[in-house]
Amino acid sequence: MASEYTTSEYIKHHLTNASMCNTENGIAFNKACADAGFWTWHIDTLAWSIGLGILFLWFFRSVAKKASTGVPTKTQAFVEMVVDFVNDNVSATFHGKSSLIAPLALTIFCWVLLMNLMDLVPVDLLPTIAGMVGQYGFGMDPHDVYMKAVPTTDLNLTFALALGVFALIIFYSIRMKGIGGFTKELTMQPFGHPVFIPVNFILESVTLLARPLSLALRLFGNLYASELIFILIATIGYFQLPLHFMWAVFHILVLPLQAFIFMMLTIVYLSLASEDH
């Protein structure tokens, strides 16, 4: 597929999301959405993220329904190992009391990991299949069919995840401290004198907003850079296999690490929000 484009066109094609938007003439797709305004849906990001989330729920639920107290199967042992791993990290990091944190941490870790692992799929495989479906199923030009299969390379998705965590930070802060306590935390720290309230509010607001921002940008930046390198390797042609293999082996460590960091930072932020000063 790389031979059909210049290197610049090839990279741009692989980094473009399949888009859907609502225009004056009705529903439009891809290039027609360039000037559509704010409400543009990245349908590949939505499809892969929702599909992988459903896969995670189905797999863990099916294993839980078949679980036994006897000698576990390999699948049950694997799931129990993941659950124990997440639970140990939650127990060591979260100092409050909440029945939500451990399931939330498990969901974040597994869901983000599955989305990250899509980075190991050969970069031409899914776009080529999507192009063939568009060409033979809908009469489209394959060059106008886009498919980004790694949801975490889409800043919209990483920000959506981070905003969900941010909403929980605000919820736990108000739940533990009350509205008055949360307001006091924003206005009376780090300087405890009323004259410094404006300064305190600016400093604490920046700190608070930096948490979801760092979560979103860290995950997006690492996965986007990783996907870009895979695409650049693919432009080499027949000599790409050794480099692709080495980069993929390296990513067997990197991709779980990024999911782990997102999970751990979420636990830490929620633990800080739950502390009653």
Is 17 catalytic? The answer is no
Among 87, 175, 218, 271, the active-site one is 218
Q: Tell me the three-class secondary structure of 5-43, residue by residue.
A: CCHHHHHHHHCCCCEEEEECCEEEEHHHHCCCCCCEEEH
Task: For residue 136, give its domain range.
Answer: 2-274
Listed as ranges, residues in the chain with pLDDT below 70 are 1-5, 24-26, 32, 34-38, 237, 276-277
With beta carbons less than 8 A apart as the criterion, state whether 127 and 147 touch: yes
pLDDT at res. 2: 46
Told to judge if 19 belongs to the known catalytic residues of this protein, a careful annotator would answer no
Active-site residue identified among 17, 116, 173, 222: 222
Q: Are 212 and 224 in contact (CB under 8 A)?
A: no
Closest among 61, 267, 60 to 172, alpha carbons compared: 267
Q: What is the pLDDT of residue 267?
A: 94
Q: What are phi and psi of 68, to 5 degrees?
A: -130, 160
Per-residue pLDDT at 69: 80
For the sheet with 40-42, list strands across it. 26-29, 19-23, 40-42
User: What is the per-residue burial (b if ≥16 Cβ within 10 Å, else e) of 117-138?
Assistant: bbbbeebeebbeebbeebeeee
Cα-to-chain-centroid distance, residue 103: 17
Question: Annotated catalytic, 200?
Answer: no
pLDDT for 34: 65
Choose the catalytic residue: 62, 91, 205, 214: 214
Q: Domain total for the chain?
A: 1
Q: For residue 242, is the peptide bond before it cis, meaning its omega torsion is within 30 degrees of 0?
A: no
